[in-house]
Amino acid sequence: MPELTCVGCGPGDPELLTVKAVNAIKNADVIMCPTSKEGKPSIALSVVSSLIDQDKKPEIVHLVFPMTKDSDILKNTWEKNSQIIAESSLSNKKVVYLTVGDPYLYSTWIYLHREISIKHPEIKIKVIPGIVSMFTFAAKVGISLAEGAEKMAVIPSCYDLSQVKEIAKNCDTLIFLKDGRYFDQVISLIREAGFSDDSIFAIGQDLDTDHEIVRKLTLGEVTQDTLTSKYFSIMVVKRV
Ligand SMILES: C[S@@+](CC[C@H](N)C(=O)[O-])C[C@H]1O[C@@H](n2cnc3c(N)ncnc32)[C@H](O)[C@@H]1O
C-alpha cells in the first residue's frame, strides 16, 4: 500500500524533533517541503537539513504555498500540491512532507491531508506530531500556559479580531500566533477586556533561529518598541 508521512519539525531546533520524525526523514526517498515563494528557502527544510542522510540523497521537492487569503488561489494551490504529493507516493517511494511545529496546528498539511484522503484513499497516511511553537516559547520564557482551573485561548491575529475582547474576558492566558504586525491592535483589546497592567506579557520572534527575539515583561511595560513586526511571532498574555 502506498504510504505518505507528514513530519512535524518543531519550531526550529533540530534537537527538538522526535526519534520517529528523525527516522522518517533519514529513510525518505522524497522530501517535500512548503515555501511561500518560488526560490525562497523552506523553513521546515532548514530545520531538518542536518538530519538528511546525504548518502541516500533523497529527492527534495519545494511546493509553493503563496501567503494569501484568496480562497480560489488557496484551493487551487492545495489541489495542485496534493496531487504532486499523491503521485510521488503512488510510485511507491517513501514520501515525507515536512511542516513547521505540529501538523495539526494552522498547517498547510491539514488541507493537503483532506484533499489526498478524499482523492486517493488508497494512500496510507501517517502523521508524526511535532513540538508546537507556543510550547517552545513557554519553555524559553518560563510561563505556565495553564495551571489548575485556568483556561487558555489560541488566537490567530491576522483575521477578524472582533471576538478577541469577549474571549479575553473568559480566559486566563491568551496566546496569539500568526503575524506580529497585528499585535498592537490586539493589545488594546486585551486591555479593554480587563487584563491589568501587571499581567504577564511575553513576545517571541523567529524562535530557534540566529535572529531570535524573546522578551518577557508586564502588560503595563509594553510600548510600540516591544512589539514585533514579523509573521513568525508569538505573543502570550497571562492574568496574575
Ligand atoms: C502557519 S502557523 C504554523 C504553526 C505550527 N504548525 C506550530 O505548531 O507551531 C505559523 C505561526 O506559528 C508561529 N511560529 C511557528 N514557528 C515559530 C518560530 N520558530 N518562531 C516564532 N513563531 C513561530 C507563528 O505565530 C507563526 O505565524
Q: Rounded to the nearest whole angstrom, what is the distance from the C-alpha of residue 196 to the centroid of ligand 1?
A: 27
- Tell if the pTM clears 0.85, that is, is over it: yes
* C-alpha separations of 215 from 26, 208, 228, 233 in Å: 36, 14, 10, 11
What CATH number is given for 3-128 in this structure? 3.40.1010.10
> Measured between alpha carbons, how far is 78 from 81 in angstroms, rounded to an integer?
5
DSSP per residue, 164-181: HHHHHHT-SEEEEES-GG
Grid coordinates belonging to 90: 503512488
Distance separating the N- and C-terminal Cα atoms of the chain: 53
For the stretch 97-136, pLDDT in tens is 999 999 999 999 999 999 999 999 999 999 999 999 999 9
Round to whole Å and give the CA distance between 48 and 62. Answer: 14
- The residue with cell 501517517 is 126
Is 104 near ligand 1, meaning CB less than 6 Å away?
no
Beta carbon of 202 within 6 Å of any ligand 1 atom: no
In the chain, the percentage of residues whose pLDDT exceeds 90 is 92
Atom of ligand 1 nearest to the CA of 206: 20
Mapping DSSP to helix (H, G, I), strand (E, B) and coil, where does residue 200 land? strand
Dist CA 137 CA 141 (whole Å): 6
Strands 30-35 and 95-99: parallel
Topology classification of domain 133-238? 3.30.950
pLDDT at 224 over 90: no
Where in the chain are the domains? Answer: 3-128, 133-238
**Max CA-CA distance within the chain?**
58
Structure-block grid coordinates of residue 134: 507556543
Read off the pLDDT band of 235 (50, 70, 90): very high
Q: Which atom of ligand 1 is nearest to the CA of 231?
A: 27
Which protein residue's CA is at the shortest distance from atom 7 of ligand 1?
101
Classify 203 as helix, strand or coil.
strand
